[in-house]
Structure formats: structure tokens, C-alpha cells
Amino acid sequence: MQTLEKTVMKGGEFIIKQVEASEIFTPEDFNEEQRMVSETCQEFIEKEVLPHLDLIDSHKDPEIMPKLLDEAGKLGLLGTSVPTEYGGFGMDFNTSMLVAEVIGASHSFAVALSAHTGIGTLPILYYGNEEQKMQYLPKLASGEFKAAYCLTEPDSGSDANSGKSKAVLSADGKNYVLNGQKMWITNGGFADVFTVFAKIDSDENLSAFIVEKSFPGITMNAEEEKMGIKGSSTRQIFFNDCVVPVENLLSERGNGFKIAVNILNIGRAKLAAAAIGACKATIKHSIQYAQERKQFGVSIGSFGAIQSKLAEQSARTFASESAIYRAGKNIEDAIDSLQTGGMSPEQAKLKGVEQFAIECAILKVHGSETLDYVVDEGVQIFGGMGYSADAPMERAYRDSRINRIFEGTNEINRILAVGTLLKKAMKGQLDLIGPAMRVQKEIMGIPEFGNEPTEPLEVAKKTISNLKKSFLMVAGAAFQKIGLAFEREQEVMMFLADMMIEIYVAESAWLRVEKNGLKPFEMQMAQLYLNMAGEICQKAGKHSINAFASGDEQHMLLLGLKRFTKTQPVNVVALTRGIAAEMLKQ
């Protein structure tokens, strides 16, 4: 166990530690069994889901989504994370991420399946007692029961603990009487089991309850009309003196907010994986159209303006995908370490994910914003046809937008990532002070000249190391200046989050390139992405410094930022043409 503890990465530690390529997991590392799971998912959505997207979105057949979930259940796709003793497959974290990725290309169905397998099932899996698990998990894994998650209320969104739903113990002590209103409930129209959050009496914190659709006192509004994911069932649900047996209290009284937070961490990582699946499907359509569409006598894929879009779609997706499975392996390693130390599998999974809350927030932001970029450029590549409902880009464009709001808005997740990092530092769980002080000392010294690396991998490693220094310099100076009021400076926190996100993702891409043997196509995408990441870090760092510093301090910090965010000149045109040529060939 001592050896394991030395090698297991800590959440947020990437910002102060050099990571070896051999330590990470890449999509190329999936084994034969995992690839077979991926192929099963792909075949299912191609045969059963994609041909029926218009019908799904129309809500003309309200039974089609439950039927598709039934079919997915028969294939085992609803029980990937459920242990075998409860009727599932008990797959590891990265395999469940792979399933989320492939299913992510199925539009509204992806939302329904993700809600069922994630926020619908996991609260019972991780927090339920043995009786609750035996009662509900086998039916959830098979699809006999469909699941939903009832947290959001009209006046409580990001501030989930401010919910007004109440539960009162009945006079005979056998039931809770639940009253409240929940909104934006995915799968609400057909779910059999709801995880409902409410405060018992005048408690400060939420509790969680397992509520069956058959319980008295449940009513709901009609289906919501939405911008996108139109086929996803989304309803407001009302609990009017809903009678819930006391044995359906999930976990302990007052533990609901903790349940909500921890389940959302998992949901954020899975959402990022699903977004990458949607990116890949969109890129495939973009390439096909660029090859087929002729203008001025040639395919539009031969035009530099189109090639630059294809290349950036690919580079961003490659980098985001690299970060997703790198984080997934870190989480798996943490889970294994905790289980080796004697923790139960369920507790280990929760704690393992919780340790990487920073990375989960990073993945969610980057994955959702990568998808938004990819679909936007997909529409542009299609031109006028991109705006037509007869072509695939119109649905892809409107369905993508919700992902920046799902699982906590991207603003909340940016603030969460930086806030959690600083809290870890203040608790002594992560040594940020030592590295930050070394960086401060370095910027006061004379820069070294000469012996600059020339090989692309070594150049990238030095660039990423310097970007980490730029973050430590800006974050350290900001915290020294602002102090305990730091969390009220949300703009500064979001600038710092942008730096963190780009550093993590760019490093992930290059670690993947190194582990896979420096393949030219992958190197080109990693180079293009790192060039973009450096520019974002420079801009975000400058805005952050200018927000809290002035005079000589401001001047010194800006000079340090320029020094640490300096990147080697890159011929972006040559890179994008090379990437696009390979994409079109493949």
C-alpha cells in the first residue's frame, strides 16, 4: 500500500507536478473487451436511435424513449456502473466513460440514458443501504425501472441547498409527508423512481428520499418546450402531501447536499465524455460534406478557410478527449488505493471522484465548450444547409447548448475549480505555497538564455512547465493581494480557471502524443492546441493581473507573465493544412 500511495496522483496536483507519459491512460489503451462494449453502443445507436431522431424530438410517440431505454437495458447499457451482485456489469470508471462518449452522439437519447444511469441510479448505488440497493438497483440496471433526479426548484438552481421543499415526519413515525415543486426534471414524464431532495422540518441542509411514481400526491406539468434536446422528457413535478415511507430516506438526515455534490462530480466527467462523442459525430459530418460539396469546380474541403475549421475541430476534440481519459485513470487509481486501504467499493468510488472534483469541473467546462465550437463551425462548413433542419447540423447546434448549463453552469464550475484548489492548499492537502514562492523568486532573477530545446516534444514540455509557472505566479499574487475576500472576486477566479483548464488539457494532449510514440498527425493537433492554450493563458493572466495589481507590482507581474507564456513561433497555416489533409484522407 505504501508504494501505491507514492504513485497515486492527487486531485489538482497537475499544476505543481511534472507528469510522466507512462502514468496516464489514453483512448489507445482500451482493451478488446472495452472496444467490444464501444462497438455494441455504436451499433445500438446507429440501428435503434439515429433513424428515429425526428420522431423522438416530436414527442408524437411518448413511449419511444422508454422503449429505447428498455432495449438498452437488454444490452446491459444501463448497468455498466452497477455491481454484478445487483444485476449490472460492474465496469471500471473509464469503461463507463467510454459508454458515455459513444452514446453522446445520440442527441436526446444520450440525455435520457445519462440521466438514468448517472444522477438517477448512482445516488442509490453509493448512498443506499443494502435493502434499498436490492430493491431498486436490479430493476434500474435492467430498465424495468426508469430513474430521475429532483434537485432544482424555481428559486434554487446553482444554490441547491436553498430549496424550499419540505418533509415532515407523520404522527405515527412511519412516513415522511413531502411537499414541494421541482423543475427541469429529465426523464420526469416516464420515470418510475425519483431521487428527491428536501429539508426535514427546519433543517439547514437537504435530505434525500427515494420516491416511487406510485406514491400518492405526485402530479406534473406538461412536457417543457425547449430550444434543444427536444426529445428528452423534461417536466415540472409537484409533491402535494406525498407519502414516503421512512425506510426510503436515502443515507442520513441532512446528508442530501453532500449526495448532490458528489453525484454531480461524476455527472460532470460523464457529460464531458458524452460531449466528445457528439464532437466526433459532428466532425464526421463536417468531413463528409466538405468532400461532397463542390464550389468553383472543386470540393470545398480543398479551400484553406474550410481546412482551418476542420483542423481546429479535430485539435480541440483530440485535446479534450486526452484530458477526459487521463482524469478517468487518475480517479480509478484513487479508487483502487482507497479500496486497498480497506474502504468499501462504494465509499472508495465516491471518495476517489471527490478527490478529483477540480478535474471533473475542468472536463465539464472544456468538453461542453469544445462541443459548442465544433457544432458552430459545423454549421458554417455546411453553409446554408447547416441552417436547414434537413441536414444534421441544425439539431447538433441546438442540442449542444444545454451542456454549458447542465451539471452546474460553466461559470459555477470555473469558480469551483479554482476555489477547491485554494481550499486544498489552505488545508495543507496540496503544497501550492512552495512552488509559488519559487516562481516569485525566479521572476526576480535574470532569465536564462541559450540551450533552448528544439525538438517539438521538449519545446512543448518547457512551454507547459512555464504555463504552470504563470498560473502559480498570478494565483499566488492574487491571493496575497485579495486575501480572504478572494472568492468574491469571481472575474479573477474565472480568469485563473481559464489558465488551469488550458494547462491541464494541453498537457494531456502532449502526454498522449508522447505515450503513443510521437505520431505526426497527433503531434500536429497537439502543437496547434498548445499554441491556442498559450494565447488564452496570456490573455487570462493579463486580465487577472490588471484587476488586482497596480504600479511596480503590476509591471513586474506583466513582465513575468510575458516571460512564462512565451511560445515558440508556430506556422498555424501549415499545421491546419496538414491536419485537414490527414482528416480528409482518413
Between CA 333 and CA 452, with CA 471 as vertex, the angle to 5 degrees is 95
Query: Judging by DSSP bridges, how do beta strands 175-186 and 147-150 pair with one another?
Result: unpaired
d(CA 186, CA 117): 12
Query: Judging by DSSP bridges, how do beta strands 193-200 and 147-150 pair with one another?
Result: parallel
462: nearest Cα among 558, 567, 537:
567
Check if the beta carbon of residue 207 is closer than 8 Å to that of residue 199. yes
C-alpha cell at 584: 480528409
Extended beta strands in 187-314, E state:
193-200, 207-212, 218-220, 234-245, 249-250, 294-295, 298-299
Alpha helix stretches (DSSP H) within 152-303: 256-292
Which DSSP symbol is given to 116?
A: I
Check if the beta carbon of residue 175 is closer than 8 Å to that of residue 243. yes
d(CA 513, CA 507): 10
Check if the beta carbon of residue 197 is closer than 8 Å to that of residue 208. yes
- How many CA atoms lie less than 13 Å away from 430 in the CB half-sphere? 23
What letters, b where the CB count within 10 A reaches 16 and e where it falls short, cover 281-315? bbbebbbebbeebeeeeeebbbeeebbbbbbbbbb
262: nearest Cα among 130, 409, 442, 125:
125
- How many CA atoms lie less than 13 Å away from 166 in the CB half-sphere? 8
| Beta-bridge mates of residue 180 | 239
Alpha helix stretches (DSSP H) within 104-236: 108-115, 122-127, 130-142
Between CA 323 and CA 329, with CA 326 as vertex, the angle to 5 degrees is 150
For 189, the 3-state DSSP assignment is coil
* Contacts of the segment 515-522: beta carbons below 8 A, 24+ positions apart: 515/21, 515/22, 515/24, 515/26, 515/28, 516/26, 516/28, 518/456, 518/457, 521/578, 521/579, 521/582, 522/318
The residue to which cell 438517477 is assigned: 120
For 378, the 3-state DSSP assignment is helix
**SS3 for 339-372, per residue?**
HHCCCCHHHHHHHHHHHCHHHHHHHHHHHHHHHH
d(CA 382, CA 371): 16
Check if the beta carbon of residue 309 is closer than 8 Å to that of residue 381. yes
Check if the beta carbon of residue 413 is closer than 8 Å to that of residue 422. no
d(CA 38, CA 392): 23
- Reply yes or no on whether 407 is catalytic: yes
**Where on the phi/psi map is residue 454: left (φ > 0), alpha (ψ -120 to 50), or beta?**
alpha
The residue to which cell 479551400 is assigned: 303
The one catalytic residue in 13, 394, 407, 502 is: 407
d(CA 8, CA 339): 13
Catalytic residues: 407
